Amino acid sequence: MQIDLNALANFVERTLDCSPDFEDDAFAFDFQDHRIYCERKRYCFDLHVGSEVLQIPRH
């Protein structure tokens, strides 16, 4: 996986809870040429990037 995890975490923090484009509890978005499936949980985002699942806390 060739993705900048710090940039992804910053994008998630700045965008996913603030943008009307990402209001659903499950959605997909493109980031650095990767298609990422996101599941919004109460305390975190589960990001499915290929076969990996990354958890990024929600603030």
Q: Which residue has the tokens 């990996």?
A: 52
pTM over the 0.85 mark: yes
pLDDT (tens, 9 = 90+) of the chain, 59 residues, equals 588 999 999 999 999 988 888 889 999 999 999 999 999 999 999 999 989 999 999 87
DSSP 1-59: ----HHHHHHHIIIIITT-GGG-SSEEEEEETTEEEEEEE-SSEEEEEETTEEEEEE--
Quick one: residue 33, left, alpha or beta (phi over 0 = left, psi -120 to 50 = alpha)?
left
Give the residues across from 40 on adjacent strands.
45
